[in-house]
Amino acid sequence: MAEPSYRKLHESGALEKRIVSALEALRSCRVCPRDCRVDRTGRETGRCRTGRYASVASFSPHFGEESPLVGSGGSGTIFFSSCNLLCSFCQNYEISHFNEGAPAGPQELADMMLRLQKAGCCNINFVSPSHVAPQILEALPPAIEGGLSVPLIYNTGGYDSIETLRLLDGVIDIYMPDFKFWDPAPAAAYCGAPDYPEKARAALKEMHTQVGDLVTDERGIAVRGLLVRHLVMPGGLAGTARIMSFIAEEISKKTYVNVMDQYRSCYLACEDGSISRRITRREYEEALKSADDAGLTRIDHRCRRVLERFFFDGI
């Protein structure tokens, strides 16, 4: 397996310069599109309610990710507390909204990465990293010096700053963004982010420019590239067909896409009539058809098997 490029950045001294720039962005925080402009190096926190150090809810090998990310040892997930989107229907609301977790400094984060690699994980999977990208960068030198050598995954909600993503160029091997909503209205209603569609489109383009289409090794394990997730919402609220067309036409028809059926009415969604139900079989079939119609050729294999299961409300 080729050596990840983050090791070369570290050896050249370029990684240290990225870290300095990223930490400086915390002083008047512009790390993500919320652009809170609070001083996170002191006692202030913005929308993400995270200060100078990242907070981690859990870290462990995970076997529920897409098959190119799992291998035999699992994906080495590090779940960061809080989020910069805070969706009202979040299935992990205890972590995102209630901020469950404990602060972790750079050495602690590095130790987590190394423990996951030692456990046999084929990558390190940063979950909800958009608000803590500087802290991730800061933890890499001690991790690299400790022997870290597996690909890094940026598992994000898609609400990412182009400036921050450019600091991650050559650091992140695999980008795995969600593309949640095509239209501003539902993004505003459910995430408080009417600019989400615009920012997500720009972020996906930047990610693909950096890493290209998903590439796997001889074992079928992903080593580099873009993998896009899209959660199908009740009543077509996500704008699935438009999103699939965008990916095919403006990113690549070879983009690896997971059209997800997992929507559940969690947290505040239970009180909202428009999203208080699960999706139907027909809604999911239409979502998959929109991916086919757009010309996308790499749909996660589990998507087809979903239709054989009996968990949908209605037909």
The Cα 235–Cα 290 span in angstroms is 15
Helices 5-12 and 133-145: crossing angle in degrees, nearest 10, is: 80
C-alpha 314, offset from chain centre? 31
In the chain, what percentage of residues exceed pLDDT 90?
90
pLDDT for 159 beyond 50: yes
How much is the mean pLDDT over the chain? 95
pLDDT in tens, 222-278: 999 999 999 999 999 999 999 999 999 999 999 999 999 999 888 988 888 899 999
The contacts of residue 305 (CB under 8 Å, 6+ apart) are none
What pLDDT does residue 306 have?
Answer: 59
Least Cα distance to 146 among 170, 169, 124 occurs for 124
- Secondary structure class of 76 (helix, strand, coil): strand
DSSP codes of every residue in 11-34:
HHTHHHHHHHHHHHTTTTT-SSTT
Amino acid type, 87: C
For 61-102, the pLDDT digits (tens) are: 999 999 999 999 999 999 999 999 999 999 999 999 999 999
Q: Please tell me what DSSP assigns to residue 248.
A: I
Percent of the chain with pLDDT over 70: 96
Q: In the structure encoding, which two tokens stand for residue 175, read together? A: 């980008």
Distance CA 98, CA 82 (A): 7
> 179 burial class (0-12, 13-18, 19+ CB within 10 angstroms)?
buried
Alpha-carbon span 272 to 117, nearest angstrom: 42
Place of tokens 């925080």: 29
Output 302 or 305, whichever has higher pLDDT.
302
Predicted confidence band of residue 3 (pLDDT cuts 50, 70, 90)? confident
Residue 281 has pLDDT above 50, yes or no: yes
How far apart are alpha carbons 63 and 71 in whole angstroms?
A: 8
184: its two tokens? 């501003």
Closest to 306 (Cα-Cα) out of 295, 125, 293, 291: 291
At 172, which amino acid appears? Answer: I
CATH class label, 5-306 = alpha beta
Tokens found for residue 251? 């990113």
